[in-house]
């Protein structure tokens, strides 16, 4: 930037602000002020752009109090110091602050000059200058003379991102525990089946044998402020459906739960055994974060204990155009207490679960011998 060219445009600006321009120039200033809303943009001969942004026009008029010719020389010196500091720094950018008014009081110099400069990169150069905190000037050029960078907010994209990262980091360090509402939707399967006298293996309808779970989990952090490890506990309320294929139904006869073909000549549309249980999980959980402290990969493993609250059977069929739904409550020789293993794995907002009952579904010699495997998608996780 040539000092003479810069001083010429600043002088022109001073004449406009002090009310000395001709009528034609005054008209141009009015149109410019309305268009840019208290912003003046000056394009210099070397294709750089100087932008002044203020709160109102009155603040612009105060610019005549500054000795701008002297300021241009000072800015050249300040920018040279800032560029040298940036090249010697370990970071990509350096911010220096200068206080001309304190150095030479009584000369109407700016109270503060803040200069942010970056290490020189190929084909680009950018310098941000802030006078006090009211006047923002951003100058950016490249060898092809592309449009310069200009913004009212003097913070760079990197600075805004660093601020957001700092907020997330402080929140992460401050929070030693958190709670979340969980909602699981999946399927049930019977595994490790053992054939018994007069009873073949249970054939479940896959999509009809649904698992639904609603709960409130608490994560308690283990270790330091940024430790990824936590313990998860909390009550869960689960529904298990075991829907049969073909024209079969669940029956409780002679102290034993069995599966039989329909004896009444009906064609069942649905026939199922359902349970509701209250479970208490206990898991060790690992939650990783990216460089911006956003959660990424998570994995949890542990166990659970539970108690059966209720069980019932339901059949649905149609006779002579009328649909019937027969419902019957009972224990059906199911085990009251349950225990097993469970785990979760996920990335960001997508998470899967698996749950395996270690004890059999029915009491010994009182029903089909099998264990329950539930798996599916954790749809909701509200912190």
As a three-state string, the secondary structure of 59-122 is HHHHHHHCCHHHHHHHHHHHHHHHHHHHHHCCCCEEEEEECHHHHCCCCCCCCCEEEEEECCEC
Are the beta carbons of 193 and 382 closer than 8 angstroms? no
DSSP per-residue letters across 241-262? EEEBSTTEEEEEETTEEEEEE-
pLDDT in the model for residue 243: 96
Please say whether the dihedral angle defined by the alpha carbons of residues 324, 325, 328 and 331, taken in this order, is positive or negative.
positive
DSSP 8-class letter at 351: E
Segment holding 216, helix H or strand E = strand 210-221
Tell me how far apart the alpha carbons of residues 343 and 345 are, in angstroms, rounded to a whole number. Answer: 7
Nearest in space to 150 (alpha carbons), one of 158, 141, 142: 141
> Strands 248-253 and 39-43, how do they pair?
unpaired
pLDDT in the model for residue 24: 33
Segment holding 299, helix H or strand E = strand 295-319
pLDDT in the model for residue 316: 92
Tell me how far apart the alpha carbons of residues 96 and 214 are, in angstroms, rounded to a whole number. Answer: 55
Are the beta carbons of 351 and 298 closer than 8 angstroms? yes
Reported as a single tens digit per residue, the pLDDT across 102-121 is 777 777 777 788 888 776 65
pLDDT in the model for residue 156: 78
User: CA torsion 149→151→157→161, rounded to 10°?
Assistant: 180
CA 345 to chain centroid, in Å, comes to: 17
Segment holding 8, helix H or strand E = helix 3-17
Tell me how far apart the alpha carbons of residues 179 and 347 are, in angstroms, rounded to a whole number. Answer: 18
Helix (H, G, I), strand (E, B) or coil at 145: coil
Q: What percent of the chain has pLDDT over 70?
A: 74
Tell me how far apart the alpha carbons of residues 43 and 45 are, in angstroms, rounded to a whole number. Answer: 7
Q: Looking at the chain, how many residues does it have?
A: 383
Nearest in space to 233 (alpha carbons), one of 217, 257, 212: 217
Positions of the chain with pLDDT lower than 50, given as ranges = 1-9, 11-36, 133-135, 147, 149, 151-152
Helix (H, G, I), strand (E, B) or coil at 25: helix
Helix (H, G, I), strand (E, B) or coil at 319: strand
Helix (H, G, I), strand (E, B) or coil at 160: helix
Structure tokens at 43: 């394009």
Nearest in space to 129 (alpha carbons), one of 115, 148, 110, 150: 115
Q: Furthest-apart CA pair in the chain: how many Å?
A: 111
pLDDT in the model for residue 46: 67
> In angstroms, how far is the first alpha carbon of the chain from the final one?
54
Q: Does pTM top 0.75 for this prediction?
A: no
pLDDT in the model for residue 83: 78
Helix (H, G, I), strand (E, B) or coil at 157: helix
DSSP 8-class letter at 148: P
Structure tokens at 179: 């709670």
């Amino acid at each position: 930037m040539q000092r003479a060219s810069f001083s010429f445009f600043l002088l022109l600006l001073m004449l406009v602000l002090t009310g000395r321009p001709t009528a034609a120039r005054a008209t141009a200033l009015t149109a410019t002020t309305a268009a840019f809303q208290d912003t003046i943009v000056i394009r210099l001969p070397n294709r750089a752009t100087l932008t002044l942004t203020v709160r109102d026009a009155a603040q612009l008029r105060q610019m005549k109090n500054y000795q701008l010719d002297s300021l241009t020389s000072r800015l050249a010196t300040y920018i040279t110091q800032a560029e040298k500091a940036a090249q010697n720094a370990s970071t990509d950018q350096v911010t220096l602050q200068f206080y001309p008014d304190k150095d030479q009081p009584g000369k109407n110099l700016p109270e503060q000059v803040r200069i942010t400069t970056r290490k020189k990169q190929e084909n680009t150069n950018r310098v941000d200058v802030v006078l006090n905190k009211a006047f923002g000037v951003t100058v950016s050029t490249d060898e092809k003379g592309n449009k310069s960078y200009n913004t009212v907010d003097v913070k760079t994209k990197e600075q805004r991102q660093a601020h957001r990262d700092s907020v997330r980091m402080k929140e992460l360090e401050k929070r030693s525990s958190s709670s979340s509402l969980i909602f699981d939707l999946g399927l049930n399967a019977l595994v490790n089946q053992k054939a018994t006298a007069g009873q073949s293996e249970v054939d479940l309808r896959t999509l009809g044998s649904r698992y639904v779970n609603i709960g409130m989990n608490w994560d308690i952090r283990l270790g330091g402020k940024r430790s990824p490890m936590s313990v998860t506990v909390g009550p869960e309320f689960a529904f298990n459906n075991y829907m049969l294929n073909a024209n079969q139904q669940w029956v409780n006869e002679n102290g034993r739960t069995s599966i039989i073909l329909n004896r009444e000549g009906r064609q069942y549309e649905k026939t199922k055994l359902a349970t509701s249980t209250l479970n208490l999980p206990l898991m060790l959980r690992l939650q990783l974060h990216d460089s911006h402290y956003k959660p990424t990969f998570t994995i949890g493993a542990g166990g659970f204990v539970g108690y059966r609250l209720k069980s019932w059977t339901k059949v649905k069929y149609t006779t002579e155009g009328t649909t019937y739904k027969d419902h019957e409550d009972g224990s059906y020789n199911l085990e009251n207490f349950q225990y097993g293993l469970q785990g979760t794995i996920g990335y960001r907002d997508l998470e899967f679960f698996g749950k395996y009952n270690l004890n059999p579904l029915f009491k010994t010699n009182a029903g089909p011998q099998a264990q329950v495997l539930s798996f599916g998608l954790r749809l909701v996780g509200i912190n």
